[in-house]
Amino acid sequence: MQTIGFIGLGIMGKPMSKNLIKAGYPLVVHDKNREPVREAAAAGAQEASSSREVAEKSQVVITMLPNSPDVREAALGKDGIVEGARPGLIYIDMSSIAPQAAQEVASGLAEKGARMLDAPVSGGEPGAVAGTLAIMVGGDEKLFEEVRPILQVMGKSVERVGDIGAGNTTKLANQIMVAVNIAGLSEALVLGSKAGVDPERIFEAVRGGLAGSNCLNAKAPLIMERKFDPGFRIRLHIKDLANALETGRNIGVPLPLTSLVMEFMQALRVAGDEEKDHGALVRFFERLAAIEVKKSN
C-alpha cells in the first residue's frame, strides 16, 4: 500500500486519518497541535515535524486545513510540501478553500512534478467518523481514478466534478445550500414555536413532504434538544460563505441569499456563538422573536 501523509488533525482530519489507519494504509501525520499527532501515533501512525517531512516520507499527501492561507502555507511555504515534493508525488487537498487558491497551489507544486486534486468534503464530524463523507473532486480524471480507493475509505459518495478548482466550487455551492436550508428551517420552527405549535410535531409533519431534506433531518432534532456542540462550526461556515461571495464577485455572480445568511452568522459571531455548530443559526431568529425552539416534553 502507498504511504499516505496527513496534515491537519482537527475535528474532521483526525477521524479521517484514523479511518485510513484502520484500512491498513501506512500513515505519516503532522499538525501544529501535538495532542492529536500523539493520538494518531498511538493508533499506528508515524509522526512528522513538518509538512516537508510528510512529503518526503509519503507517496500521497492529504491536507485537511481551515482555509486558503493555511493550505498555501502547508503546501508552498517554508518547510512546506513543495520543499519535500518530487516528481510523481500526489497531493490531495480536502480542505474547503477558494477555487483560485487551489489552482495556485496546484501550479506551484506542478513545478516540482507533483500532481494535485482538490477534494473538499461535506458531512461534518459524524460523516468523518463514519467514513461516509460526500467528496467533491476537481482535477485530472486519470489521477482521480488512481486515488479513488483512498478517497472511498473516507467517503460514501466520491465524485469528480471537473478540473482543478471545480471541487471547491462545488463545495461552495453545497455550503450556500446548507446555509440557506438551516436559515429557512430555523425561521420556520421559530414561527411555529411562537404560535404555540410543538416544533417536534411540525418536524414530523413536514419531513416526508417537499420541505423534507437531509439538512432538516440532521439539524431540527439537535435544535429541539438544544445541542449545539460543533459538528461544523459557525466560524468555519462564515469562512466558506466569504469564499463563495469572493468567488461570486470575481466571476460576476450576485449572491443575495448568501449575503443575507452571512449577516445572520456575523451577528452570531458578535454574540459569541461562532464556535457553536451551524445549527445554532436558529439562535439568531430566536432572539428576534423572544422564543426558544425546544421539545415540549
CATH classification of the domain holding 210: 1.10.1040.10
Neighbours of 149 (CB within 10 A): 13
Residue 255's SS3 state is coil
Regarding whether 158 and 43 lie in a shared domain, the answer is: yes
Write the pLDDT tens digit of every residue in 50-65. Answer: 999 999 999 999 999 9
Same domain for 219 and 122, yes or no, is no
Residues 226 and 138 in one domain: no
Mean pLDDT to the nearest integer, 144-169: 98
User: Residue 153 to residues 19, 68, 127: CA-CA distances in angstroms?
Assistant: 7, 25, 12
Do residues 65 and 124 both lie within one domain?
A: yes
**Average pLDDT score over residue span 124-134:** 94
Boundary residue ending a domain (120, 139, 164): 164
**Mean pLDDT rounded to a whole number for the chain:** 96
Q: Is the pLDDT confidence value at 123 over 90?
A: no
DSSP-derived secondary structure letter, 140: -
Same-domain pairing of 76 and 199: no
- Which of 14, 18, 22, 171 is labelled catalytic? 171
What would the pLDDT profile of 20-38 be if each residue is shown by its tens digit?
A: 999 999 999 999 999 999 9
Domain annotation covers residue 294: no
**Active site (annotated) includes residue 22:** no
> Considering only CA atoms, which of 250, 122, 254 is closest in space to residue 177?
122
From 164, 184, 206, the end of a domain falls on 164
Distance, in Å, from the CA atom of 101 to the CA atom of 94, rounded to the nearest integer, reads 13
pTM: 0.90
Name the band, by pLDDT with cuts 50, 70 and 90, for residue 295: confident
* Residue span of the structural domain in which 17 resides: 4-164
Judgement on whether residues 159 and 210 belong to the same structural domain of the protein: no
61: nearest Cα among 23, 39, 30: 30
For residues 25 and 111, membership in a common domain is answered with yes
- Give the dihedral of Cα atoms 102, 108, 113, 117; nearest 10 deg: 0
pLDDT tens digits for range 88-110: 999 999 999 999 999 999 999 99
Indicate the residue among 164, 197, 222 that finishes a domain.
164
Tell me if 295 is assigned to some domain.
no
In this structure, is residue 296 part of a structural domain?
Answer: no
Tell me, yes or no, whether 83 and 188 share the same domain. Answer: no
Total tally of structural domains belonging to the chain: 2
Residue 13 burial class via C-beta count within 10 angstroms: exposed 0-12, middle 13-18, buried 19 and up: buried
Residues in the chain: 297
Q: Do residue 195 and residue 285 come from a single domain? A: yes
Q: What is the DSSP string of 141-193?
A: HHHHHHHHHHHHHHEEEEEEEESTTHHHHHHHHHHHHHHHHHHHHHHHHHHHH
Distance CA 43, CA 197 (A): 49
